[in-house]
Amino acid sequence: MRGKPVTKRKILPDLKYNDTDIAKFINYIMERGKKTVARKIVYASFDILKEKTKQDPRHVFNKALKQVSPLLEIRGRRVGGANYQIPFQVRGERRFTLGCRWLIDAARARQGKPMAEKLAAEITDASRGEGAAVKKRAEVHRMAEANKAFAHFAR
């Protein structure tokens, strides 16, 4: 390994809820450095969540992330001239990242509404165990289960 390892940056908690997970989620929503736009989208969707579910939006968001975040994923590995899809357990940090990414992608794929409403709808669906992001997780788990026979190739 060349050089020194990169130190992890501390992300400051968001302004409204004082939560680092929400601050990271805002950063994932952000496009082209427009953080205030991303904040407005997330906070507006949290207001919609609070209005519709009559619960704390942070609780609904954490429940949705728990439903969406994968436990297993598959990675390609070349062994003896053949490529195998090998299932691996997902670390906690990557689990959060993938869950956020799948929630945002599923919200962006919805049609005909502002982003805040699409995001709120996807978060509520995910917290109930429905929606495109939960389907993505189930699909990844199904692929990992199907390739369980190649797990012995993992280091």
Q: Looking at 1-155, list the stretches that DSSP marks H as alpha helix, in order from N- to C-terminal side.
A: 20-29, 35-53, 57-68, 92-109, 115-128, 132-146
User: Burial letters for 95-132: b for 16+ Cβ neighbours within 10 Å, e otherwise?
Assistant: bbebbbebbbebbeebeeeebbbbbbbbbbbbbeeebb
Phi and psi (nearest 5°) for 131?
Answer: 95, 170
Digit-by-digit pLDDT tens for the chain (155 residues) are 789 999 989 999 999 999 999 999 999 999 999 999 999 999 999 999 999 999 999 999 999 999 999 999 988 888 888 888 888 999 989 999 999 999 999 999 999 999 999 999 999 999 999 999 999 999 999 998 888 887 887 77
pLDDT for residue 123: 96
pLDDT for residue 1: 73
131, β-bridge pairs: none
Q: Where are the domains of the chain?
A: 20-153
pLDDT for residue 149: 83
> For residue 15, which of 42, 55, 53, 48 has the smallest C-alpha distance?
42
pLDDT for residue 57: 94
CATH annotation of 20-153? 1.10.455.10
pLDDT for residue 151: 80
Q: Which two tokens stand for residue 82?
A: 């053949």
The CA distance from 47 to 60, in Å, is 12
User: Alpha-carbon torsion 136, 71, 93, 131, what sign?
Assistant: positive
Does residue 94 sit in helix, strand or coil? helix
Q: Which two tokens stand for residue 42?
A: 């997330």
Does residue 89 sit in helix, strand or coil? strand
